Structure 1
């Protein structure tokens, strides 16, 4: 079939092309002939025009000297016009013979123009008449020449016109024949193709109608050639449609099953019109969730199920969905029994058959809300516990940023808001610009194992027990370190105090036994030496005995100090005015023989006593001993004189009285400061090393504290604090 159609179409195309070429060639030939005839007629008209112009010039020449003569300008214009027409004739001809005749004509016209000019310029009557005759004969010659050319052209023009008209008539006849034959040929070809196409097309049309009616089992048979291929494709299409319909039915069945068996409530709602929000479809889960049947729900709108606050926003939510948004929200619904429960809705636009609906999925989140509340409460309890722990706890990432810290760490370290600012752990814990040597976090990041040790942080002036524990993610990658710091400054102080108390107990027992064993023999030696001194006559011998007695007294004082340090007497507490006691002790200290003996300069005492300082419960004698020891040490530190500052004030926060004794002496080296309160440590040549140790022991016995600050070359400040106990004061009063 394809070959026949191709052959027939090729023949038709060739015939039409040939006919078209013939028509084009015929029309072109006829048009060329007509153009030639027109040109010949134009030449004929031009020659006749030239002839008329020659006759006009000839008439001007004959009437020159008559009453009807034209003006010279008119005669000259006519001659120029004649010359221009003759020149134009030359532009229309190309044959050699005609070209030569035209050249002769143009030369004769030019010759005449010259003769005519000579005639016009002549003033001699006899000469003028002769020139006029010459010019007239030349016009006759031109007239004769042009007449001859016109006659020849007319004879040829008539023959050409007849021949051209005959050719045009013949071409017209052929065109009429072609126009008449073409519909017949087209009709024949159409009948031929319609006859071959009508039957298979009818079969295919019938199959299409059967397919349209839903008969997907109908198959096209009995067609051949190309229509057999079409029939095969049609049958395949029918089979594919049948399979797709089965799949669609199966899919619809599955989706219907999913719709009905879904655990979440599913609604299809009207999205437009007066019934906006009306429930078009609902699954069993939706009915069960709200306590209705499916049939009852189809008579309701979604606003009937919304709690009042949610119902007010229903139209706004539907409008958002119509604008193309898929919305999610948590709202409240009402069951049939009136109970309110939370639901999470997820809804979007659904278009079916040109109408717009809302497809909504509702999930009862009552249990989730309860779980969230439990988690929130648990989280809050954990955070409260985390912040209640007095140990500093912080979490550090691998860049040493503190990502989380409890309240104790935030307050002690002065951390910024970690949600907005990154805080480097080494800046706040160590006061440095980089992790210090031996950083426990670095060690934990390096080994992935927990680590702990004790460290003193000068930046915070505290002793800490530090623990670092690695924190891993779900892939067991080390991501952070949990950093726990416990302030053990007070614990260490108590441990040292207990240890020192134990040592003092042993020292006291030893010192008591030693003093008892030495004191009695020493007393006998002293009495014997004194008796011996009375019996000696030589002065030198008495001086030796006297020095021996003084050394014995020095040993007695040393034993007394040792006993006071090892086993101080129990304080006799009474209400004591610190300002008055310190003032009297300062005056007494300046009268000591050692002061005048070892100090050459003047000692200026500056007193800054706080008026109304509360009295404290203390042993005045022991306090006087404390003050006297410190005052004598300060005075001895200023051998050339200086200023002694005595200051008292109240520390309300600590509920303590504070006393400062400051001098402008030579100061104390740092390494000496660390040992200055240790027993038997002294920098004096004749010192026992027990003065400040006894002082510290007495202060601690009053539950007080002492510490010093000193800078070599500038002086030393001793600061003492005693607790003020209001209840005991009131009881004493």
Structure 2
């Protein structure tokens, strides 16, 4: 999100810079055009002034020799001013073609001044003076015509430039008005986009929080990115942790109820069962029974034994024994459990094709504080479940490894049976859940209880290659202090 905000601010800054640069360049261009236009007007004024000076000299020349004639000094002064007017035309910057025209104009002006000088100096020869005067007047008319042509050309150029400048100024004004009108719209649009980019993730998180408050612990936040994505990940982890803690609290409440129930059943059921079993055994020994009755009594004793086993598991689950801590090797406990399983249960499995046990024990596993008998009970229960799942034979794989970053020991037990029914996957470790005809549904629940009392965790899933996979994670505890910290 920080990156988006920085990019947005960068875009806004760039936009303002471009608009500012455009305004500055546009104003500068308009100022330059207006300055050029002013200079053109000044040039036109100078040329009109020059025309007036030429006409004034021409008038002085025409009235010379009459009683209305100006004095010689006045005519000379007017002539000098006319020459200076021509010289001022060269002070401006012109194109080569215009400069050439001005040079020709200056040459004609100098010729005109020469004839004017002749007229003023030829007082004795009246005939020649009149001829010079006529020639001077003619040259003056030519000069006036030429200056009028220059003025006309300048006027046309000035008009054209004036129209172009005002047209450009109108366009610039329109563009500035558009920028003034569109600028706030762009800013509002960007503001709305940024606001939505901020509020949408916040609303998503707020909705998820409300749903979590309402008890929807399975709700997860998805689709958020950047910092909000990290926040969503933390939220999802929190929801998962809350769900796990609530499940643990529910199991604790169940344990309290089961413990109270077990305390009563221990006296109300266990003792009568012992009496029934003893009475049935005594009757079967003292009475003379036929084969059918003996089978009946045997089935009664067998069912009473099942009830006793159920009560024993029930009591162990309700009031689990306190672990007897000692430093053990998980690999050695597994080896012992596998040997016991092979001796006590494998022969019956061999009749259906046999079970092949594959071991992959990790090297360098550290010893940890644990109860070896409880660990052996957990491992044996998982081995027995795997054997029952592979009634026609298969492979039982056992693997251990040390996770150094987490400082924990990982145990994987997998089989090649049909796998776990997806419908009960999430309830695998719930008490009294069983898929066996003669099962109590307490085996996996007791396994998880024992592993959690060791500070670890156990999970089950279906192996992609086939069969079920159980993973056990045990934190390494190297001394009694760590055990006390757990308890």
Give the TM interval when normalised to the shorter protein: 0.5 to 0.7
Match of 1:584 in 2: 336
1:400 and 1:652 map into 2 onto residues whose CA distance is 46
Question: Aligned partners of 1:695, 1:576: CA distance in 2, in Å?
Answer: 18
Cα separation, 1, equivalents of 2:302 and 2:434 = 21
Question: Post-superposition shift, 1:499?
Answer: 3.0
Structure ID, larger Rg? 1
Paired residues of 2:369 and 2:483 also in contact (CA < 8 A) = no
> CA–CA distance in 2 between the matches of 1:529 and 1:591?
32
1:510 to 261, 273, 295: 261
Mapping for residues 48-447 of structure 1, pairs under 5 Å: 186-189=63-66, 191-192=67-68, 194=70, 398=193, 441=200, 444=203
- Cα 1:712–1:612 change in 2 (3 A) is closer
The structure-2 alpha-carbon separation of the partners of 1:483 and 1:691, relative to structure 1 and needing over 3 Å to count, comes to closer
| 1:575 is aligned to 2:452 | no
Cα deviation for residue 711 of structure 1 reads 3.9
Using structure 1 for the length normalisation, give the TM-score.
0.37
Q: What is the SS of the residue equivalent to 2:358?
A: strand
Match of 1:718 among 470, 480, 485: 470
8 Å contact from structure 2 (residues 367, 476) kept in 1: yes
Maintained 8 Å contact 2:386/2:415: yes
What are the superposed Cα offsets for residues 523-563 of structure 1, whole Å, 9 maximum, x if unpaired? 11111111221233122212111110110010000011111
Rounded Cα–Cα distance in structure 1 between residues aligned with 2:265 and 2:316: 13
**Whole-Å Cα distance in 2 between the matches of residues 687 and 502 of structure 1?**
24
- Residue by residue over 1:442-482, the C-alpha shift from the partner in whole angstroms, topping out at 9 and shown as x without a partner, is 7939xxx95333889xxxxx97876999xxxxxxxxxx989
* Structure 1 residues 650 and 527: alpha-carbon distance in aligned structure 2, compared to 1, 3 A threshold: same
Spell out, residue by residue over 1:340-393, the C-alpha distance to the aligned partner (whole angstroms, 9 max, x if none). xxxxxxxxxxxxxxxxxxxxxxxxxxxxxxxxxxxxxxxxxxxxxxxxxxxxxx
User: What is aligned with 1:520?
Assistant: 271
Determine which structure has the larger strand proportion and give its number.
Answer: 1
Q: Deviations over 1:189-212 (max 9, x none)?
A: 5x51538xx8xx9xxxxxxxxxxx
Note closer, same or farther for the CA distance 1:463–1:655 as it changes in structure 2 (3 Å cut).
farther
Whether the 8 Å CA contact 1:575–1:729 is kept in 2: the answer is no
1:625-675: CA deviations, max 9, x gaps? Answer: 101000111122212212211111111111111111111222113222211
Shift of 1:498: 2.9
Residue ranges of structure 2 left out of the alignment (5+ in a row) = 1-54, 78-190
Q: Distance in 1 between matches of 2:433 and 2:350?
A: 21
Structure 1 residues 248-303: Cα deviation after superposition (integer angstroms, max 9, x where no partner):
xxxxxxxxxxxxxxxxxxxxxxxxxxxxxxxxxxxxxxxxxxxxxxxxxxxxxxxx
- Cα deviations by residue, 1:474-519 (Å, 9 ceiling, x for unpaired): xxxxxx9898433313343233223322321221221222232111
User: In 2, Cα distance between the equivalents of 1:726 and 1:673?
Assistant: 34
Check whether the contact 2:369–2:478 (CA below 8 A) recurs between aligned residues: no
Q: Secondary structure at the match of 2:68?
A: helix
Q: 1:594 to 1:523 in 2, by over 3 A?
A: farther
SS of 1:451's equivalent in the other structure is helix
What SS is found at the alignment partner of 1:687? coil
Residues 1:719 and 1:454: Cα distance change in structure 2 (over 3 Å): farther
1:495 is aligned to: 246
Alignment of 1:584-733 (within 5 A): 584-593=336-345, 596=348, 600-711=352-463, 714-728=466-480
Pairwise CA distance, 1:570: 0.9
SS in 2 for 1:688: coil
* Higher RCO by CA contacts (8 Å cutoff, separation 6 or greater): 2
Contact (CA 8 Å) 1:466, 1:483: kept in 2 or not? Answer: no
Specify whether residues 693 and 576 from structure 1 end up closer, same or farther in structure 2 by C-alpha distance, changes over 3 A only: same
Query: Could you tell which deviates more after superposition, 540-549 or 487-496?
Result: 487-496
| Structure 2 counterpart SS, 1:591 | helix
Cα distance, 1:621 vs structure 2: 1.3
Segments of 5+ residues of structure 1 without an aligned counterpart are: 1-8, 14-182, 202-395, 404-439, 457-461, 470-479
The verdict on how the C-alpha distance between 1:716 and 1:399 changes in structure 2, with shifts beyond 3 A counting, is farther
SS where residue 674 of structure 1 aligns?
Answer: helix
Q: Partner of 1:78 in structure 2?
A: none
The answer as to whether partners of 1:453 and 1:467 remain within 8 angstroms in 2 is no
Is 1:559 matched with 2:311?
yes
Answer 1 or 2: which has greater helix percent: 2
Q: Using a 3 Å threshold, how does the CA distance of structure 1 residues 397 and 559 change in structure 2: closer, same or farther?
A: farther
Instruction: Trace 1:446-461 onto structure 2 (pairs within 5 A).
Output: 451-453=207-209
Structure 1 distance, partners of 2:221, 2:284, is 68
Shift of 1:592: 3.0
Give the match's secondary structure for 1:719. strand
CA contact (8 A) 1:662 1:716 kept: yes
Q: Is the 8 A contact 2:477 2:483 kept in 1?
A: no
- State whether residues 331 and 361 of structure 2, in contact with CA within 8 Å, keep that contact through their aligned partners in structure 1: yes
> What secondary structure sits across from 2:427 in the alignment?
coil
Tell me, what secondary structure is at the counterpart of 1:192? coil
Number of equivalenced pairs: 304
TM-score (norm 2): 0.54
**1:245 match:** none
Query: CA offsets, 1:292-341, max 9 Å, x none?
Result: xxxxxxxxxxxxxxxxxxxxxxxxxxxxxxxxxxxxxxxxxxxxxxxxxx
Residues 592-616 of structure 1: CA deviation (Å, up to 9, x unaligned): 3586069601211111112332222
- Aligned residue for 2:369, secondary structure, equals strand
Partner of 1:251: none
Compute the RMSD of aligned alpha carbons.
4.4
Assess if the C-alpha contact under 8 Å between 1:664 and 1:716 holds in 2.
yes
C-alpha distance in 1, partners of 2:229/2:448? Answer: 41
